[in-house]
Structure 1
């Protein structure tokens, strides 16, 4: 029988946010007949943490194991608070580390991070990058990669790749969307048919407006289509409108968007930051360039457009890499982990009950002798 679980993270797709890894995990577990409880879908951050704490306590008799997402910055606080409550309720929990900024945050707050990680039954990480960076705070981290449903992504080997570029991320400064616009400007003279489709929600920090303004200032606005956020089930369709995927981020870990692009067979050109060189192999399934360097990214894109053999190789090898992240491979690992923790906790309770029973049996004769 599958173990009932509570997933604590950001479930914000219903309010316009993108569907994160935690939401995907909840859907997959539910589809496999696991009872899944989730929190929280509140857009407001204060209301979200309140809802997380309320749910953890309210449904405490309905789950055996909890899983908590851990991010850096202010979000780290809700991990600390929710885990403190879970410990007070004697509920075992798994922590899952996220975000390219977490190693930097951990160096600033090593005691907080070490304390949080030490109390978890298991700490998982979706990337070798975070595994290597965070192993100093707990030595037995478990690698469980981000996953996707390959059936959603039609693969087309790019042979040859055309100057149709795609960018997929939220419009936020850490993802540096305006870099993609500058890449188009560098390519426009040599490849007058170049087009860029940008997919993703506006996170409200001004990055979307800045990107639009730069497109007009550089004279390439007519070459750029901003699609906004799209439903998860439509991502593959939108990606396949292009041949080359630009990942312009300044900070990253193991982005699902890049894995999705590889699943579709797009040729990936990415900044060489954070966990990306752990996920991507330069010259084999991608081309990596320095961060915030439009000319270098444009030159890498040009290599693909002028060398069909290179584009074909990146396309095929990218798809092979993505196949390692299919839910059919990753989901059984999550199910086995939750079952192992629940079984271990049940075994601990059994041993304690046996100990108490034996202890009582040993004390009974003593009590009787005293009464005599």
Structure 2
């Protein structure tokens, strides 16, 4: 462990942190996969922090989220009274997640527990901008009263600093990270295997991806797997209607183990989204050494450098997307070079060990600030993401 990230030398007792995550760090969905990896990493090595992960929405019906939210707030109150809680870590997305986290933050403030906001939502910018005045004020207070604010990249740092100017000095960039690949990479074999991992939706650019693949009918030597939940049946029908069923597979949602096996057989990962924060599928693909074709949205440009660690195409441009995918299908040397550079970048900047250190540093710094102690800004400055 890299001990210099932490402030344990000045703390006699471990820092007790309660982490709010949708399904309690069980690996369901992007942020929960990250929290599951963080949980495993923190359990693997002592680090002066006791982190407990609890659901705020749950894996079942949405109606049950009220039960999980109530239970989470009860934990805050009970553990604070028992002196078993020093900090709350709040993972934040848009819509229902925001409403639940406003309640949790209010509960933490009532119990005089500092909290850290961890912003993940890809559509949070538009959600906040279109919120009613009362929700707008509540979101502003959520950030304004946070001890620290974690964002995933430079565009989100600028956005929060603009919306909450007095929060500027409390914003920390901690990019997402992944564990080492669970399955050794073997590639697609005789045909170049193109992967899409994400929700089957317009926001993820799936309609443009389908049009791009249709443009590539005459390009030999490729096949594709488009995996995820959402409009799966509609996508299958469209693939069949376009005469692509012999080359394009649509398996639906895949669990973590199935996703790991699929990545091991991939050669190219594409994510032509219209809006993102910092997508896990791209980082997972980089970890496996795949060539990446993506759009410069959210914090994607912080990690995918065009022509260096992947290829970037404009959102909504199915012609440019088809050209980029065809280029990587036909140019194995370029595909290998971009994949190797992406993998090296992920190992340096986006691996789970340093990520855990950075999160713990933010936690320790937030708790110290709440106690009135001097913070250590040099330990929690944004990661230098140079390719």
Bucket of the pairwise TM-score, normalised by the shorter protein: 0.7 to 0.9
Aligned partners of 2:76 and 2:108 also within 8 Å = no
Aligned partners of 1:94 and 1:120 also within 8 Å = yes
Say which of 173, 176, 198 aligns to 1:143.
173
**Aligned-residue offset at 1:263:** 0.9
**Cα distance in 1 between the residues matched to 2:98 and 2:51:** 27
**Cα distance in 1 between the residues matched to 2:326 and 2:55:** 45
Residue ranges of structure 2 left out of the alignment (5+ in a row): 1-12, 374-387
> Who is 2:222 aligned against?
194
> Who is 2:355 aligned against?
330
Q: CA 1:274–1:17 in 2, change beyond 3 Å: closer, same or farther?
A: closer
Say which of 202, 206, 213 aligns to 1:184.
213
Identify which range, 137-146 or 231-240, moves more after superposition.
Answer: 231-240
| Residue 166 (structure 1) aligned with residue 195 (structure 2) | yes
Q: Which runs of structure 2 are paired with 1:208-223 in the superposition (5 Å)?
A: 208-223=232-247
**Aligned-residue offset at 1:253:** 1.2
Q: Which runs of structure 2 are paired with 1:255-334 in the superposition (5 Å)?
A: 255-323=279-347, 324-334=349-359
Say which of 85, 88, 92 aligns to 2:110.
88
DSSP-derived class of the 2:203 partner: helix
> Who is 2:64 aligned against?
47
Aligned partners of 1:154 and 1:263 also within 8 Å = no
**Cα deviations across residues 27-65 of structure 1 (Å, max 9, x unaligned)?**
333333534141232433342244223322235323221
Say which of 106, 110, 126 aligns to 1:104.
126
Aligned partners of 1:248 and 1:271 also within 8 Å = yes
Q: CA 1:39–1:318 in 2, change beyond 3 Å: closer, same or farther?
A: same
Aligned partners of 1:42 and 1:51 also within 8 Å = no
> Who is 2:96 aligned against?
74
| Residue 239 (structure 1) aligned with residue 263 (structure 2) | yes
Q: CA 1:220–1:260 in 2, change beyond 3 Å: closer, same or farther?
A: same
Q: CA 1:12–1:231 in 2, change beyond 3 Å: closer, same or farther?
A: farther
Residue ranges of structure 1 left out of the alignment (5+ in a row): 349-372
DSSP-derived class of the 1:188 partner: coil
Aligned partners of 1:9 and 1:22 also within 8 Å = yes
**Aligned-residue offset at 1:247:** 0.8
**Cα distance in 2 between the residues matched to 1:72 and 1:161:** 42
Identify which range, 223-232 or 85-94, moves more after superposition.
Answer: 223-232
> Who is 1:22 aligned against?
35
Count of residue pairs brought into register by the alignment? 342
TM-score by length of 1: 0.83
* C-alpha RMSD over aligned residues: 2.7
Identify which range, 14-23 or 271-280, moves more after superposition.
Answer: 14-23
TM-score by length of 2: 0.80
Identify which range, 87-96 or 277-286, moves more after superposition.
Answer: 277-286
**Aligned-residue offset at 1:238:** 1.0
DSSP-derived class of the 2:216 partner: helix
Say which of 229, 247, 251 aligns to 2:275.
251
Aligned partners of 2:27 and 2:256 also within 8 Å = no
| Residue 134 (structure 1) aligned with residue 156 (structure 2) | no
Q: CA 1:2–1:84 in 2, change beyond 3 Å: closer, same or farther?
A: same
**Cα distance in 2 between the residues matched to 1:210 and 1:78:** 32
Identify which range, 80-89 or 95-104, moves more after superposition.
Answer: 95-104
Aligned partners of 2:187 and 2:266 also within 8 Å = no
| Residue 8 (structure 1) aligned with residue 32 (structure 2) | no
